[in-house]
């Protein structure tokens, strides 16, 4: 088990390194950084000056290493627009995005588990069809559209919730729903197929042979085994949620990393963008590593091996 | 081995049990008009080849049939409890309590993510309302009784940490937690090594002597039958074609199928080197649609024209020995 | 006479055609017809494609023609609506149905192009990794894992903002970002096929590697590629819509459903249909494609199980 852990972590670090290189490459190559910093209409002399001061005239590998070295020392540069250290900015906005991601995940699971279990228990019945129908529709609606509809219904007509901003927990309700419903389908399908498989397992038959009540059989015996892969998937989905929060945060003007990234794109604020991309990638690597570890740890057969 | 308990209600009585399974080709008549009874402290073996319906019969008694199957029975009684027309709650109350079942594959029959202890105590706590400590105590006692050393430690272990033989012992102990009157065992030793098989069978016999539990043991292995069965019922194509005390049926088999089965057992010295081992030619017919006459006729050397449309009559011999064949007693013995 | 087993389609010994069993394709189609969600998706998709491709020829309105005297006219089922503009007009007086139809073309074009690009890249990489294993596999798997870790929407946004957004850019960027699922699926499938006996047989006969790849591996990997393609197509449409919604996708005045929603945002309190119509259109298209993809997955899986 410890060997597996070490190996997995080592792999994660390697991937993180590769991702940082990729992210760096993508950003540097997708356009002239100096031009973006200087803005349109800058003279060639200005551009040269900028290139020199930012070290943009050095060969790429050197730039990357310099940046890497800087980053490892905790220096993420300064925001071109906000004129504050990037690390400060990012740390300020990170909790909001994490909160949004986690609550969206919980919301998605809260919907997915009952739907998946019900669909599996009454397989091929109208319950199953209805659950699958809801799932398929949820997968098809664009998140920003649902977000706007929610705003219309809850903020404008009913006036229960604020339209946008991020002052109180109320501001998180609609973003959570808008982000959460979209993450429900993969979970629901996984739970449904796992439950179907588990419900026909021998040990479920043994549990029924012992005369246990149906609830105990379903929850204690079946769901317990079916839910294991969900944990792994949850970690992965959380990664996607963090990355995909850009759209939702922008719609609701929720002051998190996604919204910051969106604004930084318009301001062409490189240091911020670079750091955000790096951070999200690292988070994702960490989450997938955790997910793999969780999968192994939760199966008693593999744990004691 | 006749018991004086014939006057008391049998531990398990089944009369005219049928199971039909819906399929895309029509209804499959997996079990057709099966009847048997088992007394306290007795072991009945239901023996037959794969697909004869013996497993379905055992599942039908426990009401554990797959969703596509339908069960009909005139009488299905465990002690005084009528199961044939009982509702779900009554059946659930009896399952695990008055009647228990153990299965063929102990690895898959035990939940891999729960400890042995957790799985053993849950039925007892549910049916008897015992406390965790009480149930644990009983579990330890039973584990020791089935011959598992360091029983207390075993409770905290997971199924995959035990060997196949140990797992089957755990299954047996688990089945006996609530002191059932009937224990149904579906091929309990098939997945085990031969040496372990012997141990498990011996264990079952010991437990039967001690507790008086009635055992219905489903198997395809005639050796197992010879070892443990007081009575044997031979099943073919969903029907019981011959039944009776083991010694009788084995010593004087009447039905051609039984004779064929017994003839298939290789006995050193019976067949000369280079000679042929006994076989029963042909294959089991599909049990779909209307079935008339004797289903064994295609494979029977002694088949007559009437076997094709008339149900074979039921004949009886000594000590409860019965079989369904058109052949007269003298003709059958050859 | 030995007993007959389970029923096989009774065939009179007299003149039977050469193939007694229906061809695989016919079987597949017969099964497909019974799969209701699949047929629904197919019908819906067919309708949308027909409308988007052929619609503009029959419906004369120009999606770019502004008429400031007729701004935000509601659709025909409202009191103020009229048949002149069946789905009303947008904030600049452009006919909404025309924009919807043309926007449909954009969505379909994007999904097709993106899937072709990403599918080619992903399938190539996946088959190579699965077939050659060893270091090639290691390298490609590493690239896959690293690429998975990158927040693709964000990266897409960044690239588009730097390079300048247009239809072509969006297609290229998405095509280069969405190959991963293709690679993963084809890699696994190739590994499985490679381990099968008939590949070993082909090798024993001396067939060259490329022959095996094109002759044995690719045809058998195709069903799964098609399933992934449909699902990625739906994904591509949604991502493009999101990009356009944020202003970083298709640029005005080209109609794109996502863009239409963005343009209508400030008017949504008074003219909600401006948002609802393209939104529902997006939903229906994604739904149709997903139903078809799911159905294909079920059908192919059932087929291989036999």
- Tens-place pLDDT, residues B227-242: 899 999 999 888 898 9
How close C217 comes to chain A (CA, Å)? 28
- The pLDDT, as a whole number, for residue C32 is 79
Peptide bond into C253 cis (omega under 30): yes
Residue C273, Cβ density class (10 Å: 0-12 exposed, 13-18 middle, ≥19 buried):
buried
> Which of B181-190, C12-21, C82-91 shows the lowest mean pLDDT across its residues?
C12-21
> Could you give the ipTM of this predicted complex?
0.85
- Of all residues in chain B, the percent with pLDDT exceeding 90 is 37
Q: Tell me which chain C residues have a C-beta less than 8 angstroms from the C-beta of B286.
A: 4-7
Using CA atoms, how far apart are residues B48 and A22, in angstroms rounded to an integer? 66
Note whether C294 contacts A: Cβ–Cβ < 8 A.
yes
Residue C131: is its pLDDT beyond 80?
yes
How close B222 comes to chain A (CA, Å)? 26
Q: What is the mean pLDDT of chain B?
A: 86
- The pLDDT, as a whole number, for residue B330 is 58
C57's tokens: 């020829």
In this prediction, residue A187 has a pLDDT band, given cuts at 50, 70 and 90, of very high
- Of all residues in chain C, the percent with pLDDT exceeding 90 is 18
Q: What is the mean pLDDT of chain C?
A: 81
Residue B283: is its pLDDT beyond 80?
no
* The dihedral formed by the CA atoms of B99, B104, B107 and B113, expressed in degrees to the nearest 10: -30
Residue C216: is its pLDDT beyond 80?
no
Note whether C150 contacts A: Cβ–Cβ < 8 A.
yes
Sheet arrangement for strand B314-316:
B99-102, B182-186, B214-219, B43-47, B231-236, B239-245, B322-324, B314-316
Q: Tell me which chain A residues have a C-beta less than 8 angstroms from the C-beta of C158.
A: 26-27, 30, 265, 273, 277
Q: Give the A:C interface size as CB pairs under 8 Å.
A: 130
Please give the model's pTM, rounded to 2 decimal places: 0.82
Q: Closest residue of C to A137, CA-based? A: C287
Residue A279: is its pLDDT beyond 80?
yes
In this prediction, residue B13 has a pLDDT band, given cuts at 50, 70 and 90, of very high
- Of all residues in chain A, the percent with pLDDT exceeding 70 is 93
Apex A140 CA angle, A137 and A143, nearest 5: 110
> Which of A51-60, A142-151, C34-43 shows the lowest mean pLDDT across its residues?
A51-60
C142's tokens: 């590493």
Note whether A156 contacts C: Cβ–Cβ < 8 A.
yes
C164's tokens: 């300048």
- The pLDDT, as a whole number, for residue A274 is 79
Residue whose structure tokens are 């019969």: B57
Residue A108: is its pLDDT beyond 90?
yes
Of B281, B286, B299, nearest to C5 by CB-CB distance is B286
Write the CB contacts of C91 (distance below 8 Å, at least 6 apart in sequence). C71, C72, C263, C264, C266, C267, C274
Instruction: For residue range C158-206, list pLDDT tens digits in order.
Output: 778 777 778 888 898 889 888 988 998 899 888 888 777 666 777 777 7
Cross-chain residue pair C3–B288, CB shorter than 8 Å: no
**Which of C36, C160, C162 should be substituted to probe chain A, the one whose Cβ sees the most A Cβ atoms within 10 Å?**
C162
B331's tokens: 């003709």
Residue C60: is its pLDDT beyond 70?
yes
Using CA atoms, how far apart are residues B77 and B14, in angstroms rounded to an integer? 6
Residue A267: is its pLDDT beyond 70?
yes
Q: Which residues of C101-117 are buried (b: 16+ CB within 10 A; e: fewer)?
A: bbbbbbbbebbebbbeb
Q: What is the mean pLDDT of chain A?
A: 84
Cross-chain residue pair C2–B285, CB shorter than 8 Å: no
Cross-chain residue pair A284–C157, CB shorter than 8 Å: no
- The pLDDT, as a whole number, for residue A191 is 94
Residue A102: is its pLDDT beyond 50?
yes
Residue B46: is its pLDDT beyond 90?
yes
In this prediction, residue C305 has a pLDDT band, given cuts at 50, 70 and 90, of very low
- Please state the rounded mean pLDDT for residues A27-55: 71
Note whether A69 contacts C: Cβ–Cβ < 8 A.
no
- Please state the rounded mean pLDDT for residues A17-25: 77
- The pLDDT, as a whole number, for residue C21 is 60
Cross-chain residue pair B97–A211, CB shorter than 8 Å: yes
Residue B147: is its pLDDT beyond 70?
yes
Cross-chain residue pair B298–C1, CB shorter than 8 Å: yes
Using CA atoms, how far apart are residues B296 and B201, in angstroms rounded to an integer? 31
Start-to-end CA span in chain C (Å): 29
């Amino acid at each position: 088990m410890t060997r597996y852990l070490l190996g997995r972590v080592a792999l994660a670090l390697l991937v993180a390194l590769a991702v940082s290189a990729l992210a760096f490459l993508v950003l540097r190559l997708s356009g002239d950084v100096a031009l973006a910093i200087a803005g349109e209409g800058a003279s060639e002399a200005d551009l040269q000056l900028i290139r020199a001061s930012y070290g943009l005239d050095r060969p790429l590998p050197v730039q990357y290493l310099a940046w890497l070295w800087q980053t490892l020392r905790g220096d993420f540069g300064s925001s071109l627009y906000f004129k504050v250290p990037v690390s400060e900015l990012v740390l300020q906005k990170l909790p909001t995005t994490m909160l949004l991601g986690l609550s969206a995940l919980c919301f998605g699971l809260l919907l997915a588990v009952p739907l998946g279990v019900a669909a599996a228990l009454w397989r091929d019945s109208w319950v199953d069809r209805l659950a699958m129908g809801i799932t398929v529709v949820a997968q098809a609606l664009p998140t920003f559209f649902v977000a706007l509809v929610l705003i219309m219904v809850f903020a404008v007509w009913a006036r229960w919730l604020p339209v946008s901003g991020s002052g109180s927990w109320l501001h998180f309700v609609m973003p959570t729903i808008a982000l959460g419903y979209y993450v429900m389908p993969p979970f629901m399908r996984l739970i449904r197929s796992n439950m179907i498989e588990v419900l026909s397992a021998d040990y479920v038959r043994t549990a029924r042979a012992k005369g246990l009540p149906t609830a105990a059989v379903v929850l204690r015996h079946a769901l317990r085994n079916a839910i294991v892969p969900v944990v792994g998937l949850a970690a992965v989905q959380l990664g996607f949620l963090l990355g995909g929060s850009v759209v939702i945060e922008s719609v609701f003007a929720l002051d998190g990393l996604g919204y910051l990234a969106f604004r930084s794109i318009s301001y062409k604020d490189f240091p911020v963008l670079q750091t955000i991309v790096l951070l999200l990638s690292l988070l994702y690597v960490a989450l997938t590593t955790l997910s793999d570890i969780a999968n192994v740890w939760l199966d008693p057969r593999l744990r004691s091996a | 081995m006749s018991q004086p308990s014939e006057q008391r209600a049998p531990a398990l009585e089944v009369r005219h049990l049928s199971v039909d399974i819906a399929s895309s080709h029509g209804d499959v008549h997996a079990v057709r008009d099966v009847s048997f009874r088992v007394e306290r402290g007795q072991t009945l073996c239901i023996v037959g080849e794969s697909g004869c319906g013996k497993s379905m019969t055992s599942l039908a008694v426990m009401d554990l049939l797959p969703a596509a199957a339908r069960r009909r029975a005139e009488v299905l009684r465990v002690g005084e409890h009528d199961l044939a027309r009982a509702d779900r709650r009554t059946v659930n109350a009896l399952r695990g309590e008055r009647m228990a079942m153990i299965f063929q594959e102990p690895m898959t029959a035990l939940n891999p993510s729960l400890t042995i202890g957790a799985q053993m105590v849950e039925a007892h706590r549910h049916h008897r309302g015992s406390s965790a400590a009480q149930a644990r105590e009983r579990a330890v006692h039973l584990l020791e009784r089935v011959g598992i050393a360091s029983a207390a430690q075993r409770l905290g272990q997971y199924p995959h940490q035990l060997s196949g033989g140990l797992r089957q012992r755990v299954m047996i102990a688990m089945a006996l937690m609530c002191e059932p009157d009937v224990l149904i065992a579906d091929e309990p030793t098939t997945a085990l090594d031969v040496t372990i098989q012997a141990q498990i069978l011996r264990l079952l016999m010991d437990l039967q002597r001690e507790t008086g539990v009635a055992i219905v043991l489903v198997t395809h292995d005639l050796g197992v039958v010879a070892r443990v069965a007081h009575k044997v019922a031979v099943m073919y194509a969903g029907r019981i074609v011959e039944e009776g005390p083991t010694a009788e049926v084995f010593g004087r088999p009447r039905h051609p199928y039984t004779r064929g089965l017994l003839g298939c057992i290789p006995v050193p010295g019976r067949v000369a080197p280079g000679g042929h081992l006994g076989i029963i030619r042909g294959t089991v017919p599909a049990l779909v649609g209307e079935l008339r006459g004797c289903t064994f006729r295609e494979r029977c050397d002694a088949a007559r024209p009437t076997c094709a449309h008339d149900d074979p009559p039921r004949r009886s011999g000594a000590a409860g020995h019965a079989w369904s064949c058109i052949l007269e007693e003298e003709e059958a013995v050859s | 006479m030995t007993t007959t087993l389970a029923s096989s389609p009774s065939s009179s010994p007299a003149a039977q055609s050469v193939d007694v069993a229906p061809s695989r394709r016919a079987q597949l189609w017969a099964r497909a017809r019974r799969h209701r969600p699949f047929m629904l998706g197919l019908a819906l998709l067919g309708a949308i494609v027909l409308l988007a491709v052929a619609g503009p020829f029959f419906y004369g309105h120009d999606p770019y023609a502004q008429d400031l005297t007729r701004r935000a006219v509601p659709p025909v089922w409202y009191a103020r609506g009229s048949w002149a503009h069946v789905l009303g007009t947008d904030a600049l007086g452009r006919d909404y149905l025309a924009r919807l139809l043309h926007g449909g073309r954009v969505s379909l074009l994007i999904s097709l192009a993106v899937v072709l690009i990403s599918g080619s890249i992903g399938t190539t990489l996946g088959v190579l990794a699965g077939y050659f294993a060893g270091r090639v596999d290691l390298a490609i798997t590493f690239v896959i894992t690293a690429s998975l870790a990158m927040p693709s929407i964000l990266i897409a946004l960044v690239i588009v903002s730097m390079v300048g957004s247009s239809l072509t850019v969006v297609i290229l960027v998405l095509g280069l970002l969405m190959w991963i699922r293709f690679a993963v699926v084809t890699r696994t499938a190739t590994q499985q096929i490679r381990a099968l006996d008939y590949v070993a047989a082909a090798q024993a006969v001396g067939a060259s590697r490329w022959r095996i790849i094109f002759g044995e591996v690719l045809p058998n990997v195709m069903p799964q590629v098609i399933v992934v393609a449909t699902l990625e197509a739906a994904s591509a449409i949604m991502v493009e819509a999101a990009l356009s919604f944020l202003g970083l996708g298709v640029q005005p005045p080209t109609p794109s459903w996502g863009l239409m929603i963005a343009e209508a945002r400030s008017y949504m309190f008074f003219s909600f249909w401006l948002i609802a119509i393209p939104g529902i259109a997006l939903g229906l298209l994604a739904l149709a494609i997903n139903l078809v993809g799911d159905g294909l997955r079920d059908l192919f899986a059932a087929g291989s199980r036999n």
